[in-house]
């Protein structure tokens, strides 16, 4: 993990569900055709950009929603860099899958969106067992 690269991630909750992005990892040639995984919307902070603007930009780019309120939660290590996680309230509307403008390949990295039930590991097959969500977020809207 590169400790210099800073990232942001957005926790967007509606009806006891958190919005997650399904992505594909790269293969040996760098094409995004590898193993799929779920992650929070987010990404790298651009040079000169503050954290608040970065999380709002990433939410808009990745899930097509406009953030109305952004609240810092905590920092955590992520495979591609140290990440600051934010609770993000968004305008009404349905999310739409975006595209990463920084990718040079034509293969999509982001391949799906879903509202995943908040839960603990073992509760259901689709509950979000993300340890960094537990205990840090007020779910009641």
Hey, where are the domains in the chain? 6-117
Per-residue model confidence as pLDDT tens digits over 68-118: 999 999 888 877 778 999 999 999 999 998 866 665 566 667 788 989 887
CATH code, residues 6-117:
3.90.79.10
Instruction: Give the C-alpha separation, 39 to 78, whole Å.
Output: 10
What pTM does this model have?
A: 0.76
Average pLDDT over residues 37-41: 85
Name residues whose C-beta falls within 8 Å of residue 116's C-beta, 6 or more positions apart in sequence. Answer: 17, 18, 19, 20, 38, 126, 127, 128
Do 116 and 128 contact (CB within 8 A), yes or no?
Answer: yes
Looking at per-residue confidence, does 35 or 2 come out higher? 35
């Amino acid at each position: 993990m590169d400790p210099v690269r800073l990232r942001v991630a957005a926790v967007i909750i509606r009806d006891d569900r958190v919005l997650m992005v399904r992505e594909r990892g790269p293969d040996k040639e760098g094409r995004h055709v590898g193993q799929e995984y779920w992650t929070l919307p987010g990404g790298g902070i651009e040079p000169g950009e503050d954290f608040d603007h970065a999380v709002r930009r990433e939410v808009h780019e990745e899930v097509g929603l406009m953030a109305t309120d952004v609240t810092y939660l905590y920092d955590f290590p992520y495979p591609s860099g140290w990440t600051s996680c934010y609770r993000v309230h968004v305008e009404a509307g349905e999310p739409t899958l975006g595209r990463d403008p920084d990718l040079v390949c034509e293969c999509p990295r982001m391949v799906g969106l879903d509202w995943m039930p908040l839960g603990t590991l073992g509760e259901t097959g689709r509950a979000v067992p993300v340890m960094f969500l537990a205990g840090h977020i007020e779910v009641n809207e």
